[in-house]
Structure 1
């Protein structure tokens, strides 16, 4: 975008998540489809956040919406991931086998990107996004990130950061929003996924300097606001967390034996100025 933010973002993602996939839906105005996943219905999730939920978001900088993401779409994303991980191995001297493996991997990657494009356009999700950004919603892309298991100690509380530091748009209160949703992963008692840490109210602070040159276990924000307690959010697949661009948050270390997969997307009003 000309301001050097994309390179730091890629560095952060590569050092933190060790792989994943994203979409090509960058800086495109998007609209909800008339068929497919997550169509609006009277029996589905609420069309918009309630008044109390809006107040909660303004005061805390995040909002948890239960069951907003269609489980059928999450199943499709899991299936696409399995296709990628169980493809034909290229460790062979046979040229035809190598070509087949590469073609299969490319087809699976395209299918995964298509599924991610559906994710950012889910009507029930866009209804809520429009409540934050307005009618002309600009996609800032989506990512499916994989958090590998680790037993390494960490003092960084899940690589705390602010999304607004990486987004080349003005991070004002009502024009930019990020969404986070678990695909599958570590489960605690009761089958609940605990993977995201937030610092409620930290969005009232300005954008802080981030150190992207440290190791994988180092803190991105060396001096977070004092007196703000962190909160680990318990979510289930299908739940969506909306994040203010200045909210300090981070993905918790994966202490399970399985890879944890998370969906992340960013949106803005088409009228939001670049910085």
Structure 2
């Protein structure tokens, strides 16, 4: 999968050492690169066995062979209008980190080893999704995970084409993003489907803050309204994230 990142006005992250020595140890060069650029690509981090497991699970879900449970299936509107069926119309499956098969990715020990060296030993999954990009799927616009988390993109001016860095990805390759890094992915102009899993981790030391008076206040109201309308749930924005969190390493989380 080809992605791009934009490095303008990047806030450099602070490296946090894990309490226990990880089995997959990042080199000083890798840590320095992440600290400077806000992203790091590790080739072949995820095994073929794990990739096979999650792809098989994806096909079971989209073909109706298994109950979706807590997960949410999102279709690609343009492809649905053209009459696409099955996996050819699916854009993503949200909240997959509670599924036993899908979680083999989000809780992969080598993956968590790397994450622990970037945010600390207490690791919480706050969101995880399987992305499917059938032929003809449009691009995923530029956005920041921290400020615009999966809700809004950023202006084209903020992610100028001339300052983008292309990241060609092969099966098993993994890219780690700083949450303030502007990133996205291009349209699928090939004749085959592209698949990826994205997982958002947070340190267990993080705490919720009030969004009143910020651009996230609008998002909070939209989420609360949607929960009431679609699922008849009277739930706060904070609680909606609290119930979706999953502690995957460590013994305590403030989230």
C-alpha change, 1:226 and 1:76, in structure 2 (3 Å) is closer
Equivalent residue for 1:127, pick from 113, 121, 127: 113
Contact kept? 1:84, 1:108, Cα under 8 Å? no
Indicate the SS of the match to 2:187. coil
Contact kept? 2:61, 2:68, Cα under 8 Å? no
Contact kept? 1:138, 1:270, Cα under 8 Å? yes
Equivalent residue for 1:53, pick from 26, 30, 34: 30
Partner residue in 2 for 1:159: 141
C-alpha change, 1:80 and 1:228, in structure 2 (3 Å) is same
Partner residue in 1 for 2:220: none
Cα deviation for residue 64 of structure 1 reads: 0.4
Partner residue in 2 for 1:249: 183
- Distance of 1:58 and 1:77 partners within structure 2: 31
- 1:24-83: CA deviations, max 9, x gaps? xxxxxxxxxxxxxxxx9xxxxx71211011111111110001111121011011212232
- 1:129-174: CA deviations, max 9, x gaps? 000111111111311011232287xxxx74111111245xxxxxxx
Partner residue in 1 for 2:133: 147
- Distance of 1:144 and 1:55 partners within structure 2: 30
Partner residue in 1 for 2:203: 269
Cα deviation for residue 273 of structure 1 reads: 2.7
- Distance of 1:133 and 1:79 partners within structure 2: 31
- Distance of 1:48 and 1:128 partners within structure 2: 7
User: Over aligned residues, Cα RMSD in angstroms?
Assistant: 2.9
Partner residue in 2 for 1:82: 59
Cα deviation for residue 211 of structure 1 reads: 8.5
Partner residue in 1 for 2:171: 237
C-alpha change, 1:226 and 1:105, in structure 2 (3 Å) is closer
Residue 106 (str. 1) matches residue 67 (str. 2): yes
- 1:254-273: CA deviations, max 9, x gaps? 11122221100011111123
Contact kept? 1:211, 1:220, Cα under 8 Å? no
Cα deviation for residue 228 of structure 1 reads: 6.0
Number of equivalences? 162
C-alpha change, 1:226 and 1:77, in structure 2 (3 Å) is closer
Contact kept? 1:84, 1:109, Cα under 8 Å? no
TM-score by length of 1: 0.52
In structure 2, list runs of 5 or more residues that go unmatched.
1-21, 72-95, 210-255
Find runs of 4+ consecutive structure 1 residues off by over 6 angstroms.
Answer: 107-110
